[in-house]
Amino acid sequence: MTEGNIVIAVNDTGISQNIKDKLLDSGYSVIISPPKKEAALSNILKNDPAMIIVSPELDSNFSGIDLIIQLKDKIEVPTIFVSTNLNDEAYKKAKALNPIAYFTYPFNIENLFYAIEIGLENYYSRKKAKAQLLKSLEGIKENNNSKDKFMSIISHDLRNPFNSLLGLTELLAYNIEDFTQQEIKESAISLNLTVRKLFNLLTNLLEWSKLQAGNFTIEKSEFQVSQIINYILDVFSDTINTKQITVLKETDCEITIFADRTMIETAIKNIISNAVRFTRKGGTITISCRLEGNIAKIFIKDNGIGIAKEDQEGLFIFEKRFSTEDTNNEKGTGFGLLLSKEFVEKNGGFISFLSELNQGSTFIISLPTNQS
């Protein structure tokens, strides 16, 4: 059975009916068109058929051939010509259009039916191959666009931390004798923070690029959320203390989840990192966990800068990625959240958030607690 109609426009009623009956018996959907060029054209354009069976001559010499020529610019449909008389000129003109077959009456209708089946099979194979090719080309185009944007981000977003490093190291290299011990210590701390930020940025960029290339493996195991959160808070303890941020753990997060530990650690680390960066001096970060059935929910809340309503829709979309200045007037890349989202989703979870400008944000990570 075909996926579409077969339009028959043959200038012999008996032949047309015989073809129709044979096709209907075999489960095909058939439309009989009046044997006139304009009527056939209207039927074909209206019904978008899977095949056309047409006479070379309809209401005038070679009008059936002219019909197919006219359709070539509009749709691609396999065609079989059925002629009621032998006409060499008509055959040559029809042959130039590369039809499935050309039959001259009298002919064996079984042979016509075989030609229809073969023609449709080839047509649908080509159609499927074309769709796959277009999909592949679209994928290549998207990958190229992503690579272009990726390179643009690397060249732009790596420049600032490197400029800071160059400036600080240049000062120390050529003017260290003019610095006090306290100033040297402060410069070293600033260098350390810059290097940490640069390392985190590079890590996120590399992990994200591996995801896009499909070059990663997921190794799931059971582990407690509290272990990861305690480790991450320890990593950011210096910055938390420097900014005098209060971290409240409303619950101990003694919840066991089943996921890739490295991926989830990176995801939570990026979100806590953002909370620390965008929380003002003396602010508060609240972390809590809740179990809902077989889903563990991790809440990371801050009372920091927040996200403008118009920016929230594109927060997890690569093409709409935007930069926001943190409390040190430094712009982020947005890659941390993108990576967190993908890592969490690869482990069967999802990220949601609530945010209000100048009031703060709450990010919720939902993850399965067991293998099912």
Pinpoint the residues of the chain covered by CATH 3.40.50.2300: 5-131
Q: pLDDT value at position 157?
A: 60
Q: Evaluate whether the domain defined by 5-131 bears CATH number 3.40.50.2300.
A: yes
Tokens of 139: 């994928």
Q: Residue 364 and residue 9: Cα distance in Å, rounded? A: 63
Homologous superfamily of domain range 217-368:
Histidine kinase-like ATPase, C-terminal domain (3.30.565.10)
**Whole-number Cα distances in Å, 163 to 4, 107, 191, 206, 239:** 63, 82, 11, 21, 21
For the chain of 372 residues, list the mean pLDDT of each consecutive stretch of 10: 78 90 89 92 90 92 92 88 90 92 90 89 85 82 67 62 78 83 83 78 73 77 92 89 92 89 91 92 94 93 90 72 56 73 92 92 93 62
Detail the DSSP E strand segments found in the chain.
5-9, 29-32, 51-54, 79-83, 101-104, 220-224, 246-249, 256-260, 284-292, 295-302, 350-356, 360-368
Looking at residue 314, what is its pLDDT? 74
In the chain, which residues fall in CATH 3.30.565.10? 217-368
Element (H, E) at 340: helix 335-346
